Structure 1
Amino acid sequence: MFDKVLCAIDGSKAADRAVAFSVGLAAKFGAELQFVTVTTVTQSSAAKSPFWDTRLFNAGEDLIAKELSDAMRAAQIAGLEKVSCVTISGRDIADAILGYADEQGFDHIVMGSTGHSAFGRLLTGSVVDDVLNHRHPPVTVV
């Protein structure tokens, strides 16, 4: 039913649940699984800022690497063989995820949601809501 599953992660508890779900989904259908995280700041764009601090940027990069490594470990423990991870850049996280999914031919997206109320989403926004409001392959919100 699914050949290529993309799981968007951001280091949150909701993303941890999405990882667990996507691993189970990929195992059940024998699908390829890729974990993706989006960075909105590149080293070149950050270097133009008067607040540039290499240590802070590197700390962020280390955190991203740990998140992806933890997700990969969960997939490997489950015995998945067709699993990979990638970091992509984009100013709009939802657009970056959807554009990447479309370019790479993913037929399912898995994302975690914190379950904020409608008022909370109004104040803080929601990448999940932004993804769901655009044309996309099927999305499972965990």
Structure 2
Amino acid sequence: MQITKQADYALRAMLFLAQLPPNQRASTSQIADEQAIPPSFLAKIISQLSIAGLIHTSRGARGGVSLAVSPEKISVLDVVEAIDGPLALNECTLNPAICPSGPDCPLHSLWCDAQAELVSRLKKTTFASVVRSSEA
């Protein structure tokens, strides 16, 4: 399993915003430049993060992008799922009926357990904790 490039860019953009002082905004061009994200790609990402309620955007001379909630309340999972949708190590973890082996598949519980561990870890990891660990 690998997250999409779009999710990776979204995580880097959110980390950049989480490192800003409270109530400070950044321009999309600043985020794109400092995080090496193609500006056209970033525009789509910003739109998706805004729809998910993770960031605020405003236009104009004093406009820009800022977090909608504190970094303590935004998890890595929130961002990945805002961009890529629900996390799934295998399609059967979201829809067991899709498995050709049916309900007796010997791998189903392995995939579900591994996915639960990954989801738990990403959900517990907030942007505030990532910022703290990068400053240490």
TM-score for the superposition, normalised by structure 2:
0.33
Higher normalized helix content (fraction of residues): 2
With normalisation by structure 1, the TM-score equals: 0.32
Which protein, 1 or 2, shows the higher relative CO under an 8 Å CA cutoff with sep ≥ 6? 1
